[in-house]
Amino acid sequence: MKVGVFNADWSKDYYWNNGAATVAVSAPPAASADPAQYNFEAGTQGWASSGGMIAGVSSSTAQAFAGTHSLAVQFAGSGADTQIVFVSAPPTPAGKTVTFHVWIPPGSAVTAVQPYVQQGAAGGWLWTGDWQPASSLTPGAWNTLTVTVPANAATPLYQLGVQFFTNAPWSGTCYVDSVGW
């Protein structure tokens, strides 16, 4: 950027008093690098875990689909199990398709994943998921998965999440990021 100083008639014959003025230039605030409802940029956003092999969840910069953070899902289990990471009472509207991005490391014991939504008592606890075997996933890369909330779903939903299936003891980390509709 160039800044010029001119006198009142726009001629260049103007004498500058060094230090008499300050020019400040600032960029507009950056738009969110990840506009998804759950982007994990500022924490876990209420996501939790359930299941014997999951030691916990946290916001991490080790992997990111969009932005700089994702939800790290730490596994530390001693046997085959089914476990979930989820958020309770998400504001997901009925009829919307929810997109999830899941990263599974090479050599993991994960045999399948299933993004899901579950309605509460008003919806009869109906579970809607899209089970994906590990053979349809690319290890060491972001996999895009979707599930559609039934058009007649009772909202707010009870849960929105990802179910992980494992077939052996395993310690490692999977990641979930940019969950939105």
pLDDT in tens, the chain (181 residues): 555 555 666 666 555 566 555 555 555 445 457 999 999 999 999 999 998 889 999 999 999 999 999 999 999 988 888 999 999 999 999 999 999 999 999 999 999 999 999 999 999 999 999 999 999 999 999 999 999 999 999 999 999 999 999 999 999 999 999 999 9
Give CA angle at 99 (172, 68), nearest 5°: 55
Q: Residue 38 pairs with which residues in a beta bridge? A: 179
d(CA 160, CA 136): 22
Quote the pTM value: 0.82
Retrieve residue 174's tokens: 């999977």
| Domain layout of the chain by residue ranges | 48-180
Superfamily of the domain at 48-180: Galactose-binding domain-like (2.60.120.260)
Give the strand pairing for 54-60 and 127-129: unpaired
Q: How far apart are CA 72 and CA 128, in angstroms?
A: 24
- Cα separation of 133 and 114, whole Å? 9
